[in-house]
Amino acid sequence: MQSIHTLSELLNNSGCQYQVFDLGRRIQPIDNAQFAQVEKGAQPYPFPLQRKAHLAIAYWNESQQPWIWFLKFSLDERGLLAQADIGQFIKYVIEAMGTRLNQELSEEQQQKLANNPYTFKPSDDKMAVFHSQIRARLNLSCSQYYEHAQHYFDGGLGWDNWQTVGLQGITDICARLGKQQNGVLVRKAIAHLPAQPLYALLGALEHTALPDKLAQRLVEFADSEIHSQDPDLFLLSALVRALSGAPAEHQVTVIDAILASARLSHQEILIAIAGRNWSMLNDSGRAQRFLVRLAQTGNQTLFNQLFADLVMLPELRMVLLPLIHTSPSPELADALLKLQQSAKG
Residues 74 and 151 in one domain: no
> Does any domain span residue 129?
no
Residue at which a domain ends, from 159, 189, 208: 208
Total structural domains in the chain? Answer: 3
> Does any domain span residue 338?
yes
Residues 238 and 344 in one domain: yes
Separation CA 144–CA 328 (nearest Å): 55
Residues 90 and 189 in one domain: no
Convert the pLDDT of each residue in 221-275 to its tens digit: 999 999 999 999 999 999 999 999 999 999 999 999 999 999 999 999 999 999 9
> Does any domain span residue 115?
yes
Checking if the pLDDT of 171 tops 80, the result is yes
Residues 86 and 172 in one domain: no
Residue 62: CB partners within 8 Å, gap ≥ 6? none
Residues 193 and 227 in one domain: no
> Does any domain span residue 341?
yes
Checking if the pLDDT of 302 tops 80, the result is yes
Residues 219 and 187 in one domain: no
- Sorting pLDDT into bands at 50, 70 and 90, what band is 33? very high
> Does any domain span residue 127?
no
Choice among 4-8, 32-36, 150-154, 216-220 with the minimum mean pLDDT: 4-8
Residues 185 and 300 in one domain: no
Residues 147 and 100 in one domain: no
Checking if the pLDDT of 1 tops 60, the result is no
Convert the pLDDT of each residue in 313-323 to its tens digit: 999 999 999 98
Residue at which a domain ends, from 208, 242, 262: 208
Contact 142, 179 (CB under 8 A): no
Quick one: which H or E segment has residue 56? strand 52-60
Residue at which a domain ends, from 97, 122, 147: 122
DSSP 148-173: HHHHHHTTTT-TT--TT--HHHHHHH
| Better pLDDT: 15 or 312 | 312
Residues 195 and 217 in one domain: no
Residues 230 and 143 in one domain: no
Which of 117, 19, 38 lies closest to 83, judged by CA?
Answer: 38
Domain boundaries, position 96 = 7-122
